[in-house]
Amino acid sequence: MDCVFCSIVAGETPAEVVLETEALLAFLDRRPVFKGHVLLVPKEHHVTLPDLPAELRDPFLAAAQRLATAMVAGLGAQGSFVAMNNTVSQSVPHLHCHVVPRTKGDGLRGFFWPRRPYADGEPAAYAERLRSVL
């Protein structure tokens, strides 16, 4: 299997990890909508939400809830955008939940997600800010 998220989970591909449990991993998106954009994945390879085993549903949602809270507490965002695609528009065929910091007037409209790159050194700083409140 050639899955970039499985490679991140295995430690073969570097990522700025912000949250890790026995079954889940959350890390910064390399092409964030806004800086601090996190992807939450199950460590086991499951392609879509319907494929997620029942025993992981509550931990997955609880982790997404913690990350949404961290957007406000750690990054000073006013709220967050939380989304998952299933097959259609799913850029990586491994279940992932986007948790994106939001601020009123930030310009995000509908489902067009412009990407904003990090400057050198910024990913580690954003990841640390989120880890510190998680």
Q: What is the pLDDT of residue 8?
A: 98
Quick one: fold of 4-107+114-133?
A: HIT family, subunit A (3.30.428)
pLDDT-based confidence at residue 22 (cuts at 50, 70, 90)? very high
Instruction: Kindly compute the dihedral angle of the four CA atoms of residues 122, 110, 47, 124, in this order, to the nearest 10 degrees.
Output: 10
The rounded mean pLDDT for the chain is 93
pLDDT of 64-118, one tens digit each? 999 999 999 999 999 999 999 999 888 899 999 999 999 998 888 766 666 678 8
Residues in CB range of 114: below 8 A, 6 or more apart: 33, 107, 108
Cross-strand partners of 112: 109
Q: For residues 39 and 8, give the distance between their C-alpha atoms in angstroms, rounded to a whole number.
A: 11
User: Is the model's pLDDT at 6 over the cut of 70?
Assistant: yes
Q: What is the pTM of this model?
A: 0.85
Residue spans of the domains in the chain: they are 4-107+114-133
Do residues 93 and 57 touch, judged by C-beta distance below 8 A? no
